[in-house]
Chains A and B, each alone.
Chain A
Amino acid sequence: MSSFMHQGRATYAFFERNWNMTRRYLGWEVVWLVYNVVNAMSVTFIGASASLITGTKINTSLLILYLLIGTSVWTYLSVSFDGVTDIVNLEHWEGTIEHTFMAPISRFTHMIGSCGYAIVHGMLFTFLQLVIVAAFFHLNLGQTNYLTAFFMLVIGSVSFIGFGIAASVLPLLYTEKGMQMSFIVRSVLLLVSGVYYPISVLPAWMQPLARISPATYVLEGLRAAILRNQVIWSPEIWSYTWPLIITGAVSVPLGVFIFHLAERYAKRTGKLKRNG
């Protein structure tokens, strides 16, 4: 019981610390929000102008909603990914990595606290972005099943965490450029996950990559929920849910294991010492 209390207290410590950091870097949060809002609007305006560009009659409302879902999920994935990779990034930047890694807590606790905050922060950030961008477009949400949409986002978050934990070893192993290297993971997910287009338009050799990306299923599930009012227990939603369950069940323990190996390597080679 005492150990459980300790790990619980430590989990909250990471959450509280990250919240304090967000408050102190509020200016940066505003900048990042503006950037993401502008980015989302730029993409969504493509949908609004599709009829004009092609000269043919297109279901503009559907296309706008399609693209808006993509931009929102991408923002959520990016912000959450950043938060997860901050397990190491932030500590390297501030020079506190040795102090945190010396604390008597399990690395799993460390990750739960950091990732928990990343998810909450990601959701709030994305919600804010969505509210702002939606104000610029007339959205038809008559077919939206909000419960299913929330369900897809939550279940997809577990898989995002797994990928994020695995990517966070890059700044651990490559102090100077590790954070930039984690962008490669993110950019590949952007390309293959159907963020702005159906994955069927991808070349055949990219399709398998699309099938192992959790973002693919989150996007397809969200579009089914928002555009077609699919309920949680429908066969279509289940077809997106079970891959996410498997991805989450595999990626999280695998990510934690990879991190463990990377930590041992860092302790053997002295890489914990170096600040970013």
Chain B
Amino acid sequence: MAIRVDTSVIANLTIDSTTDAVVIDGVSKIFKKPRPLWRRRNKDGADKREIRAVDDVNLTVKRREIVGILGANGSGKSTLIRILSTLLLPDTGHVTIFGYDVEKDERKVQELINRVSVEASFFKKLSPMENLIYAARLYNMPGAEAREKIVSILTRLGIKPDRIKSPMENMSRGMQQKVAIARAFLTAPILLLLDEPTTGLDPRSKIDVQAFINELRDVHDATILITTHDMDEAEALCDRVAIIDQGRIVALGSVDDLKRHITGLMGRAESATMQEVFMYYTASRLVTEEDIKRYGSWEKAFEAIEAQREEEDK
């Protein structure tokens, strides 16, 4: 069943069809943690209180693209998504969404986007219907229309009719996440920000959600930015993938291009997997030809470098 686009929210916005969907230009985000009074600075004078969650990120997403952002825990993926969602202000750089600046044109940007976070956050005592009606009204959807769409989308995502009016607290984590996805899809945003949306879902539900995502792009021209740890999901969905490590984008390209590049570096006939691509780019340093000669193979060189990193981190 297709999802009808609700254009009432964005009726008053002008969207230039030639503008890129997302432009992230030199964006950094630094968090400062308070230093205990008794702790002195490091010997090299560095202030360890600063955490560069996002470090000079540049990324352009075209309309109707699905771009994946892969990164380890704490790499800056969610921080970047929050900046795009107008929940965090960047310290440097600019972000525009369909030409609207996320700081200066905050309300306009909010009308264009929706987000699914990794934590399915709801009013737990309220039912999916009550939570989603609340969300729909915030996005200017009339109650009657919202009820019809809510039932349709939740049913499509496998939520049984009798659960739609039961409190969220009685639902499993996976079912709650489906309701979170339904909440984002409900307003048919033209930019959808998905922060590990399928975490906790069973394989069948993952496929349902992935089908939904593709439909949103194919039928309703949505642009999608998705963060994930699931390499298979990234391969299945994404036109391009950005790998982020310690706040910096270390690789950007189509899945095929990235795999081809790493396969060439590894010097083998068999194509590299996305796991290997990810491990390569998020290693503490890149594996060189000298390393491969020294350790005998790319895999052994990588293991040795990672072991060294763990030692240094201790």
Q: Which A residues are closer than 8 A to B by beta carbons?
A: 2-3, 5-6, 9-10, 12-13, 16-17, 20-21, 24-25, 94-96, 98-106, 264, 267-270, 272-273
Q: Is the CB of B167 within 8 A of A24?
A: yes
Contact B111 A17 (CB under 8 A): no
CB A268 to nearest CB in B, in angstroms, measures: 5
Residue of A12, A269, A273 contacting most chain B CB atoms (<10 Å): A273
Given A21-B123, A24-B126, A94-B124, CB of A267 within 8 Å of CB of B138 = no
25 contacts between A and B (CB under 8 A): A2-B8, A5-B140, A9-B141, A10-B138, A13-B134, A16-B133, A21-B126, A24-B125, A24-B167, A25-B125, A94-B121, A94-B123, A95-B121, A98-B85, A98-B121, A99-B115, A100-B138, A102-B113, A104-B111, A267-B86, A267-B87, A267-B89, A269-B31, A270-B31, A272-B88
CA of A17 to CA of B32, assembled, Å: 36
Q: Given A17-B123, A21-B125, A94-B121, A103 and B139 touching (CB < 8 A)?
A: yes
6 closest A-B pairs by beta carbon, nearest first, are A13-B137, A104-B110, A24-B125, A95-B121, A103-B138, A6-B140
Please give the residue numbers on chain B whose beta carbons come within 8 Å of chain A beta carbons, in ascending order: 8-9, 11-12, 31-32, 79, 82, 85-89, 91, 107, 110-111, 113-115, 117, 119, 121-126, 130, 133-135, 137-142, 167, 183
**Given A98-B115, A102-B110, A267-B86, 13 other A-B residues pairs in contact with their CB atoms under 8 A:** A2-B140, A9-B141, A13-B138, A16-B133, A21-B123, A24-B126, A95-B119, A95-B121, A99-B115, A102-B85, A102-B86, A102-B113, A103-B135
In Å, the complex CA distance between A103 and B114 comes to 8
Least Cβ–Cβ distance between B29 and chain A, in angstroms: 8
Set A17, A96, A104: member contacting B107, Cβ < 8 A: A104
Question: Which residues of chain A have C-beta atoms less than 8 A from B167's C-beta?
Answer: 24
Q: Which residues of A contact B107 (CB under 8 A)?
A: 104, 106
B residues less than 8 Å from A17 (CB atoms): 123, 126, 130, 134
Residues of A within 8 A of B135 (CB): 99, 103
Contacts A16-B134, A273-B82 known; A9 to B124 CB distance under 8 Å? no
Q: Is the CB of A272 within 8 A of B87?
A: yes
For residue B261, give the distance in angstroms from its CB to the closest CB of chain A: 35
Instruction: Name the residue on A nearest B78 (C-beta).
Output: A273
Query: Which residues of chain A are within 8 angstroms of B113 by Cβ–Cβ distance?
Result: 102
A10 surroundings in chain B (CB, below 8 A): 137-138, 140
Distance to closest chain A CB from B161 (angstroms)? 19
**Measured CA separation A103–B140 after assembly (Å):** 10
Contacts of A6 in B (CB 8 A): 9, 140
Are A104 and B87 in contact, CB atoms less than 8 angstroms apart? Answer: no
In the bound complex, do residue A96 and residue B121 qualify as a contact, i.e. CB atoms below 8 Å apart? Answer: yes
Q: Would you call A9 and B142 a contact (CB within 8 A)?
A: yes
Contact indicator B12/A3 (Cβ below 8 Å) = yes
Closest CB-CB distance, A133 to chain B, in whole Å? 29
A20 to B168, CA, bound (A): 13
Contact B123 A96 (CB under 8 A): yes
CB distance from B115 to the nearest CB of A (A): 6
Contact status B119-A2, CB under 8 Å: no
Contact A102/B115 with A17-B126, A268-B89 known, Cβ cut-off 8 Å: yes
Chain A residues with Cβ below 8 Å from B130 are: 17, 20
B87, A20: Cβ atoms under 8 Å? Answer: no
What A residues does B119 contact at CB under 8 A?
A: 95
Complex Cα gap A6–B11 (Å): 12
A2 to chain B: which residues have CB within 8 Å? 8, 11-12, 140
